[in-house]
């Protein structure tokens, strides 16, 4: 079962520009969890990883490769970690691939 705070965090990133902007500097899953906590969302790293993995497993192999090889120092890295956030990226954001 998905932690409601985690689902709310993912959805709120889409709804609130200032929350989404904070993802741009994140370069790891640990940082995504810490960022969520800093904004008042209570979920664990293991809950995030399960959430990420369940979404990742639904993606095509080619998209999985793009996710795994995306450059963590590129501003779009965190957005690429979940399909809900990937949908926010505009076409020119493809520069995040290694």
The verdict on residue 35 lying in a domain is: yes
Whole-number Å distance between alpha carbons of 74 and 98: 9
pTM for the full model? 0.89
For residue 94, tell me if it sits in a domain: no
SS3 97: strand
Q: Does residue 19 sit within a domain?
A: no
Q: How many domains does the chain have?
A: 1
CA distance 50 to 89: 23
Tens digit of pLDDT for each residue in 23-53? 999 999 999 999 999 999 999 999 999 999 9
Distance CA 33, CA 43 (A): 7
| Host domain of residue 85 | 4-14+28-89
41 inside domain: yes
With contact defined as beta carbons under 8 Å apart, do 96 and 70 qualify? yes
Q: Per the domain annotation, does 20 fall within a domain? A: no
With pLDDT > 70 as the criterion, what percentage of the chain qualifies? 91
In a domain, 96, yes or no: no
Burial class (CB in 10 A: 0-12, 13-18, 19+), 30: exposed
């Amino acid at each position: 079962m998905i932690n409601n705070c985690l689902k709310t965090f993912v959805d709120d990133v889409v709804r609130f520009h200032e929350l989404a902007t904070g993802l741009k500097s994140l370069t790891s899953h640990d940082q995504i969890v810490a960022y969520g906590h800093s904004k008042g969302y209570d979920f664990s790293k293991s809950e995030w990883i399960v959430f990420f993995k369940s979404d990742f497993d639904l993606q095509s192999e080619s998209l999985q490769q793009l996710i795994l090889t995306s450059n963590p120092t590129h501003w779009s890295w965190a957005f690429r970690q979940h399909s809900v956030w990937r949908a926010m990226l505009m076409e020119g954001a493809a520069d995040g691939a290694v």
